[in-house]
Amino acid sequence: MIWVAATLIAATAQTARNAAQAGLTRQVGTVGATAVRFVFGFPFAALALALAAIWMPIPRPDTMVLAWAALGALAQIGATAFMLMTMRGQGFGVATALMKTEPITLALIGAVILAEPLGPARLGAIAVATLGVVLASGVAWKRAAWGPVATGVLSGALFGLSAIGFRGALLALPDAGYAIRALTILAITLGMQAVVMAAWLVLRDRRALAGIMAEWRVSLGAGVLGAFASLFWFIGFALTPAANVRTLALVEVVMAQALSGRLFRQTVGPLQLAGIGLIVVGVGWLLSVAA
- Who has greater pLDDT, 105 or 208? 208
Dist. CA 289–CA 283, nearest whole Å: 10
Residue 226, C-beta contacts closer than 8 angstroms, at least 6 positions apart: 14, 17, 36, 37, 38, 40, 41
Residue 258 pLDDT exceeds 80: no
For range 244-258, the mean pLDDT: 74
* Residue 258 or 165, more confident: 165
Task: Identify the pLDDT of residue 271.
Answer: 75
For the chain, the domains span 2-290
pLDDT, tens digit, 9 for 90 and up, residues 107-123:
777 777 777 766 788 77
Nearest to 242 by CA among 142, 136, 115: 115
Q: Give Cα 242 distance to the centre of its chain.
A: 11
Give 139-171 pLDDT, tens digit per residue: 555 555 667 677 877 888 888 889 999 999 999
Q: What is the pLDDT of residue 264?
A: 46
Per-residue confidence (pLDDT) for residue 263, from 0 to 100: 44
CA 74 to each of CA 23, 67, 115, 186, 194: distance values in angstroms, whole numbers, following the listed order:
23, 11, 22, 13, 11
